[in-house]
Structure 1
Amino acid sequence: MQTAIGEIQTLFVDVLLPVPIPKYFRYRVPSDMVEMVQKGVRVMVEFGRRRILTGIIVESSEFPPSSYQAKYLLDILEETPSVNDKQLKFWKWMADYYLCHEGDVLQAALPSGLKLNSQSRIQVNPDFDEEDLADLSDKAVRLFRAVRHQQSIPYEQSADILEVKSPYPYIKEMIQAEAIIIYEEVKEKYKPKKVSKVRLNPTLLENASGLEEVFTSLAKKPKQEDILLKYLGLVPVYNDPNVNDAGVDKKKLLEEGKEMSPSSLKTLVKNGILEEFSEVVSRFDDAHFQLYQNMGHDFELSEAQQNAYSQILESFKTKDATVLHGVTGSGKTEIYIKLIQDVIEGGGQALFLLPEIALSTQMVVRLMKVFGDQLGVYHSRYSDNERVEVWRGVNEGRFSVIVGVRSSIFLPFEDLSLIIVDEEHETSYKQHEPAPRYHARDMALVLGRMHQAKVILGSATPSVESYYLAQKGQFGLVSLTERFGNATLPEIIIADLKKERKQKKLKGDFSSRLVDEVRSAIDKEEQVILFQNRRGYSPFVMCEECSWTPTCPSCAVSLTYHIYKNDLRCHYCGYREATPKTCVSCGSTKIKTVGTGTQKIEEEIQNFVPAARVQRMDQDTTRKKYGYQQIIEDFEQGHIDILVGTQMVSKGLDFDNVTLVGICNMDQMMFFPDFRAMERAFQMAVQVSGRAGRKSKEGKVVIQTYNADHPLLKKIIKQYYEGFFRVELKERHQYSYPPFTRLIKVTVKSEDQLLGEKAALQLAKGLTRRLGIKRVLGPQAPTINKIRNKYLQEVMLKFERQNFDLLKAKGILKEEIFIIETEPFFKKVQIVIDVDPL
Structure 2
Amino acid sequence: MNSPILRLALPAPVFGLFDYLPPAGLDPALLQPGQRLMVPFGPSERCGLLVEIGTDSEIPGSRLKAARVLLDEQPLLDKTQMDFLRWAAAYYHHPQGEVLMSALPVRLRKGKALLKPRPDHVFLLQEPDEVADALKKRAPRQYEILCWLRDKGGSARLEDFRRQFPSGRSILNALRLRGCVDLGIGEAVPGVLQTPAHELEPEQQAALDAVTANLDEYGAFLLDGVTGSGKTEVYFHIAEQVLARGRSVLLLVPEISLTPQLVRRVARRLAVRVAVMHSGLSDGEREQAWQLARSGEARMVLGTRSAVFASLPDLGLVLVDEEHDASYKQQEGFRYSARDMALVRASRAACPVVLGSATPSLESLRNAMDGRYGWLRLTRRAGGARAPRMQVLDVRNQRLAAGLSPVVLQALEQTLARGEQALVFLNRRGYAPVLSCYGCGWLSDCPRCDARQTLHLGQGKLICHHCGNERIQPKTCPSCGSSEIHPLGQGTEQLEETLKQRFPEYPLVRIDRDAASRKGTLERLLARVKEGGAGLLVGTQMLAKGHHFPNLTLVVMVDVDSGLFSADFRSAERMAQLIVQVAGRAGRAELPGRVLLQTRFPDHPLLRSLVEEDYNAFARRALKEREMAGLPPCSSQALIRASARSLEIAEGFLEQAAELAGRSADGRVAVWGPVPAPMRKRAGRHRAQLLLQTGQRPELQRLLDLLVPALSSLPDAGRVRWSVDVDPVDLY
Other-structure match for 2:186: 284
- 2:202 matches 1:303: yes
State the one-letter code of the partner of 2:337: H
Other-structure match for 1:713: 607
Which moved further from structure 2: 762-771 or 562-571? 762-771
State the one-letter code of the partner of 1:781: P
State the one-letter code of the partner of 1:834: D
Show the 5 A alignment for 1:135-150: none
In 1, Cα distance between equivalents of 2:30 and 2:656: 50
Other-structure match for 2:64: 70
- 2:690 matches 1:795: yes
- 2:323 matches 1:432: no
| Aligned-pair CA distance for 1:816 | 5.1
**Which deviations, in whole Å up to 9, do the C-alpha atoms of 1:643-683 show, x marking residues without a partner?**
21111100111111111111110101222321011111110
Identify the match of residue 458 of structure 1 among 341, 351, 356.
356
Other-structure match for 2:243: 344
In 1, Cα distance between equivalents of 2:238 and 2:411: 40
1:530/1:664 contact within 8 Å kept: yes
In 2, Cα distance between equivalents of 1:290 and 1:335: 20
In 2, Cα distance between equivalents of 1:292 and 1:103: 43
Show the 5 A alignment for 1:732-811: 732-771=626-665, 772=667, 775-801=670-696, 805-811=699-705
- 2:402 matches 1:402: no
3-state SS of the aligned residue for 1:462? coil
1:376/1:399 contact within 8 Å kept: yes
Show the 5 A alignment for 1:265-664: 282-284=184-186, 295-314=194-213, 320-434=219-333, 436-498=334-396, 501=398, 504=399, 506-664=400-558
3-state SS of the aligned residue for 1:827? helix
State the one-letter code of the partner of 1:80: Q
Show the 5 A alignment for 1:150-161: none
| Aligned-pair CA distance for 1:338 | 0.5
- 2:167 matches 1:255: no
| Aligned-pair CA distance for 1:430 | 0.4
**Which deviations, in whole Å up to 9, do the C-alpha atoms of 1:585-612 show, x marking residues without a partner?**
3332211111111111111122221212
3-state SS of the aligned residue for 1:322? strand
State the one-letter code of the partner of 1:546: C
| Cα gap change, 1:809 to 1:106, in 2 (>3 Å) | same
Identify the match of residue 834 of structure 1 among 721, 725, 728.
725
2:492/2:510 contact within 8 Å kept: yes
| Aligned-pair CA distance for 1:315 | 8.6
| Aligned-pair CA distance for 1:31 | 2.3
Other-structure match for 1:84: 78
| Cα gap change, 1:317 to 1:39, in 2 (>3 Å) | closer
State the one-letter code of the partner of 1:498: R
Identify the match of residue 105 of structure 2 among 102, 105, 111.
111
| Cα gap change, 1:253 to 1:738, in 2 (>3 Å) | closer
Identify the match of residue 55 of structure 1 among 48, 65, 90.
48
**Which deviations, in whole Å up to 9, do the C-alpha atoms of 1:703-762 show, x marking residues without a partner?**
111111122222322461231022101211122110111111111110133222222223
1:33/1:76 contact within 8 Å kept: no
**Which deviations, in whole Å up to 9, do the C-alpha atoms of 1:558-614 show, x marking residues without a partner?**
111101011101112211101222223333221111111111111112222121212
| Aligned-pair CA distance for 1:106 | 2.3
| Aligned-pair CA distance for 1:60 | 2.1
**Which deviations, in whole Å up to 9, do the C-alpha atoms of 1:163-202 show, x marking residues without a partner?**
xxxxxxxxxxxxxxxxxxxxxxxx548454269xxxxxxx
Identify the match of residue 668 of structure 1 among 562, 573, 579.
562
In 1, Cα distance between equivalents of 2:258 and 2:245: 28
State the one-letter code of the partner of 1:353: L
- 2:99 matches 1:99: no
3-state SS of the aligned residue for 1:573? coil
In 2, Cα distance between equivalents of 1:294 and 1:10: 58
| Cα gap change, 1:783 to 1:83, in 2 (>3 Å) | same
| Cα gap change, 1:605 to 1:291, in 2 (>3 Å) | farther
3-state SS of the aligned residue for 2:642? strand
| Cα gap change, 1:71 to 1:826, in 2 (>3 Å) | closer
3-state SS of the aligned residue for 2:382? coil
In 2, Cα distance between equivalents of 1:35 and 1:386: 33
Which moved further from structure 2: 21-30 or 828-837? 21-30
| Aligned-pair CA distance for 1:28 | 2.3
| Aligned-pair CA distance for 1:113 | 2.6
| Aligned-pair CA distance for 1:815 | 5.1
2:216/2:351 contact within 8 Å kept: no
In 2, Cα distance between equivalents of 1:91 and 1:484: 39
- 2:16 matches 1:17: no
In 2, Cα distance between equivalents of 1:764 and 1:568: 39
1:319/1:475 contact within 8 Å kept: no
In 1, Cα distance between equivalents of 2:709 and 2:15: 14
3-state SS of the aligned residue for 2:21? strand
Length-normalised TM-score, structure 1: 0.77
3-state SS of the aligned residue for 2:515? coil
Other-structure match for 1:144: none
| Aligned-pair CA distance for 1:254 | 6.6
- Gaps of at least 5 residues in structure 2 are 121-141, 143-161, 176-181
| Aligned-pair CA distance for 1:308 | 2.5
CA RMSD of aligned residues (A): 2.7
In 2, Cα distance between equivalents of 1:545 and 1:684: 38
In 1, Cα distance between equivalents of 2:205 and 2:173: 52
State the one-letter code of the partner of 1:255: S
In 2, Cα distance between equivalents of 1:301 and 1:258: 42
| Cα gap change, 1:105 to 1:583, in 2 (>3 Å) | same
| Cα gap change, 1:10 to 1:827, in 2 (>3 Å) | closer
In 2, Cα distance between equivalents of 1:598 and 1:253: 38
Other-structure match for 1:174: none
In 2, Cα distance between equivalents of 1:402 and 1:103: 24
Other-structure match for 1:702: 596
In 1, Cα distance between equivalents of 2:663 and 2:54: 43
3-state SS of the aligned residue for 2:677? coil
1:10/1:31 contact within 8 Å kept: no
In 2, Cα distance between equivalents of 1:259 and 1:13: 54
Identity %: 33
In 2, Cα distance between equivalents of 1:649 and 1:252: 35
| Cα gap change, 1:538 to 1:302, in 2 (>3 Å) | same
Q: How many residues align?
A: 677
| Aligned-pair CA distance for 1:252 | 9.8
Show the 5 A alignment for 1:165-244: 187-188=112-113, 190=115, 192-193=117-118
In 1, Cα distance between equivalents of 2:463 and 2:511: 18
| Aligned-pair CA distance for 1:299 | 2.0
| Cα gap change, 1:757 to 1:292, in 2 (>3 Å) | farther
3-state SS of the aligned residue for 2:586? coil
- 2:633 matches 1:731: no
**Which deviations, in whole Å up to 9, do the C-alpha atoms of 1:496-527 show, x marking residues without a partner?**
1115x1xx4x3331011111111112112211
In 2, Cα distance between equivalents of 1:454 and 1:254: 45
1:315/1:322 contact within 8 Å kept: no
In 1, Cα distance between equivalents of 2:192 and 2:352: 27
| Aligned-pair CA distance for 1:624 | 2.0
In 2, Cα distance between equivalents of 1:735 and 1:685: 25
**Which deviations, in whole Å up to 9, do the C-alpha atoms of 1:364-409 show, x marking residues without a partner?**
1110102344222111111212221222222211111111111111
3-state SS of the aligned residue for 1:485? helix
| Cα gap change, 1:290 to 1:740, in 2 (>3 Å) | closer
2:86/2:100 contact within 8 Å kept: no
